[in-house]
Amino acid sequence: MTYQREKYVIGSFDAWWAYGDFHQDSWFFGRQHAVHVGVRPITLVNEVTQSEPGHFVYPGTDFIDHIEVDGERVGELDYSINPLLDRLYINMIEVNPDRRRERIGTAVLWHLWRVHRIPIVPLDQYAMAEQFWHQARLGLGAAGAQIESVLCLNEHVQLEQQRWQHLVPESVHERRMRAMEASEEWPAIKARMEKEYGR
């Protein structure tokens, strides 16, 4: 069994990611071999930061960044952080096809882990990305990062959203309805609506 470490420089961060064959029945790695590989700097350049009603993490924040290596744009990253600030969701990591063997996606995940220190949760990923996420869980997990299982079914997404529903601000319409229902005129308004609309 081998254990390898590769060093990635991401912006101003020295990022290590570990990978190897991990034996499911043991809590340790076998023989350890360290390999140091220098890789070009990876930079995340933010294009969009938003918090929009109707988005999965609202009132959390959505980010769209592009990924650069040596000043060249090599991919795009779309991720979100929920308003509880306890999970980071990966909507998409897209690396240009000619750069996919450089482990840029893994270096980006390590950067996000180092910056935010919260579990990373992939959302609704393509089947062909399963191997990437499996390797990232093993390798980055061995280095201390926490990457959770894919959150893909609608009911799972809705259950996740319920954790921060108490933080979603009331819309203007909802606020007006609540004020109207609390008013002295509400019983008469309600009776008139029931008479006219059968409600």
3-157 fold: Aminopeptidase (3.40.630)
155 token code pair: 């009911």
Question: Would you state the pLDDT for residue 193?
Answer: 84
Residue 186, pLDDT > 60, answer yes
Query: Predicted confidence band at 199 (pLDDT cuts at 50, 70, 90)?
Result: low
- The highest-confidence range among 16-25, 40-49, 103-112, by mean pLDDT, is 103-112
Are 164 and 83 in contact by the 8 Å Cβ rule? The answer is: yes
* Residue extents of the structural domains in the chain: 3-157, 170-199
Number of H helices, E strands in the chain: 5, 7
Quote the CA–CA distance of 2 and 94 in Å, as a whole number.
Answer: 29
Residue 76, pLDDT > 50, answer yes
Could you read off the pLDDT of 156-171 as tens digits, one per residue?
889 999 999 999 988 7
Do β-strands 13-20 and 3-10 pair in parallel, antiparallel, or remain unpaired?
A: antiparallel
Residue 81, pLDDT > 90, answer yes
Question: Would you state the pLDDT for residue 2?
Answer: 34
Question: Would you state the pLDDT for residue 134?
Answer: 93
75 Cβ contact partners less than 8 Å away, ≥ 6 residues apart: 66, 67, 93, 94, 95, 96, 99, 104, 105, 108
Question: Would you state the pLDDT for residue 124?
Answer: 81
Query: Predicted confidence band at 38 (pLDDT cuts at 50, 70, 90)?
Result: very low
Residue 106, pLDDT > 70, answer yes
Quote the CA–CA distance of 14 and 7 in Å, as a whole number.
Answer: 7
Q: What is the pTM of this model?
A: 0.70
Are 56 and 152 in contact by the 8 Å Cβ rule? The answer is: no
Q: What is the CA radius of gyration of the chain?
A: 23
Residue 13, pLDDT > 70, answer no
Quote the CA–CA distance of 62 and 32 in Å, as a whole number.
Answer: 39
